[in-house]
Amino acid sequence: MTDKNILDICVGGIWRAGRGEAYASLYPATGQAIAHLRAANLDDVDEAVSAADHAFRHSGWAQKHPHERAQVLYRVAQIIRDRAEELAQTQRLDNGKPITETRALVASAAATFQFYAAACETLEDCLTPMRGDCLTMSVHEPMGVIAAITPWNSPIASEAQKLAPALAAGNAVIIKPAEITPLMALELAAICVQAGVPAGMVSVLPGKGSVLGDALVRHPLVRRVSFTGGTGTGKQIARLAADKMMPVSMELGGKSPTMVLADADIEHAVNGVLYGIFSSSGESCIAGSRLFVARPLYAEFLDRLATAAQRLRVGDPADPATQMGPLISEAHRATVERYVALALSEGGTIRTGGKRPEGSGVDQGYFYTPTIIENLGNSSRTCQEEIFGPVLVAMPFDDEDALIEQANDSVYALAAGIWTRDYKKAWRIGRQVQAGTVWINTYKQFSISTPFGGWRDSGLGREKGRLGIHQYMEQKSIYWGMNAQPLPWADHGSGPDEGQR
Ligand code: NAP
């Protein structure tokens, strides 16, 4: 691993040191610095927003035909693919995810640009049915400067999910990546410029969210915020946005239920539940962190699940055989440990895990063992609060009504999983569970063509999908008079009034 000095921030197409504090990006598997940066400060925010606004109005990007913007976005996808392995390694170093996961994230980022290139050149506006002498239509226009604020858990994927549709729509974008994972956003900005996105259309401002993110949200020239992160932060941003009447989209936290019915294929369900909670070390908004198992199956299922959890390979993220890497930081591991202590104080018992792993290779970084907790009710704080770590709470259930009531008893409603061989039950429960995404006999599967987002405290708006591009556009109605006659008022006549037709 090299400790490299990288060019810290990107403002208006220029990479330079920020004017804020110096800090290091640490490799979570060892705690060693992998890059030294100088964060942006408030002057940098102002400069980046002015440059973005100028580029939006004068670079010609917004005025290009959609198929011309699409050509550039296809090139972005291709450059990401050409540099896939290098980007996957950088992402691994920046946030400590296993290399198999970061390779998948890079591939998904390329697919996102390709998808929005296609969406951009095929999206249609419409003529609305004429109800008088006007040709009427509904069209979409780019908004201007978009602030994309992202978390540390899957940087390249979450940044691509905002950047690609926002650029496809013709906007300028300022990315505020998580302070501790700044590298992928900087790489993406460089790739965009290399592909032909005009300078200034993409800026990147690493640094503290409470300072830079806040300033971006308040800035009068920022027209929309697309945010992914914690619910508390999201609500704070939404309150500020309300003062500007600025639209926001929010991808927030989760505490998703996974339900294993008595007739489930046990082997598939065990694998699915494990993957659902422990992949990405549980640092995933859609982690299936509350497990409900039909009581007749509970004992056998938990035996198999706990044995499989103990066998998970926790260790070196560079090793393709590793299934679980470290947590993102020492501070975050301490939070997870506090939650396990809370679970015990609430009467929970640890079935497996609940400690740091031991041995060489896992003694330096921020590792934690896959943890399963039992004997807690759904109303416990451990079940109600997002831990964002490898901690699963398992509970038996007795009947379908009680199951649905408990599954829905959460401020969050992001995702849910159902494991059953009975298609009627799958459909019934799938329709009653309150969640932005429901997986049936699978979990954590994604497609860029399928909208994603949460209900209630899990979010506002939808990312992905062909119409995800509309999040970054304003709708405009056009009435085009086709009548050679003047409007009635022109001759003070008494023609039909201009009321609703
Ligand atoms: P976070 O603390 O809310 O931070 C997210 C981003 O917001 C970071 O870039 C952060 O900067 C910035 N930020 C912090 N305070 C801000 C403020 N006052 N104004 C504007 N921006 C501010 O969340 P996190 O700990 O990075 O990420 C974990 C959370 O994200 C979990 O709750 C998880 O469920 C959620 N998440 C949701 C989804 C989804 O799609 N629903 C996907 C991934 C993650 P700093 O890094 O400097 O603090």
- What is the model's pTM? 0.96
- Per the prediction, the chain carries an average pLDDT of 95
Active site residue 251: yes
Secondary structure of residue 204 in the 3-state scheme:
strand
By the 10 Å C-beta count (0-12 exposed, 13-18 middle, 19+ buried), 492 is classed as exposed
**Ligand 1 atom nearest 236 alpha carbon:** 18
CA distance 239 to 222: 15
- For strand 145-149 and strand 172-176, is the pairing parallel, antiparallel, or unpaired? parallel
25: Cβ below 6 Å to ligand 1? no
- Contact of 324 with 370, CB cutoff 8 Å: yes
CA distance 95 to 120: 31
Q: CA of 454: how far to CAs of 109, 302, 445, in Å? A: 21, 29, 16
- Contact of 142 with 221, CB cutoff 8 Å: no
Contacts for 239 with CB less than 8 Å, ≥ 6 apart = none
**Choice among 285, 383, 386, 463 that is catalytic:** 285
Per-residue model confidence as pLDDT tens digits over 421-445: 999 999 999 999 999 999 999 999 9
Sheet of 4-5: strand order equals 4-5, 33-38, 22-26
- With a cut of 90, say whether residue 283 has pLDDT above it: yes
Query: Where is pLDDT greater, at 446 or 485?
Result: 446
**Ligand 1 atom nearest 386 alpha carbon:** 32
**Interval between CA 152 and ligand 1 midpoint (Å):** 7
Helices (H), 39-98: 42-58, 66-82, 84-95
**Interval between CA 431 and ligand 1 midpoint (Å):** 30
Confidence of residue 232 (pLDDT cuts 50, 70, 90): very high
Active site residue 126: no
pLDDT of residue 491: 65
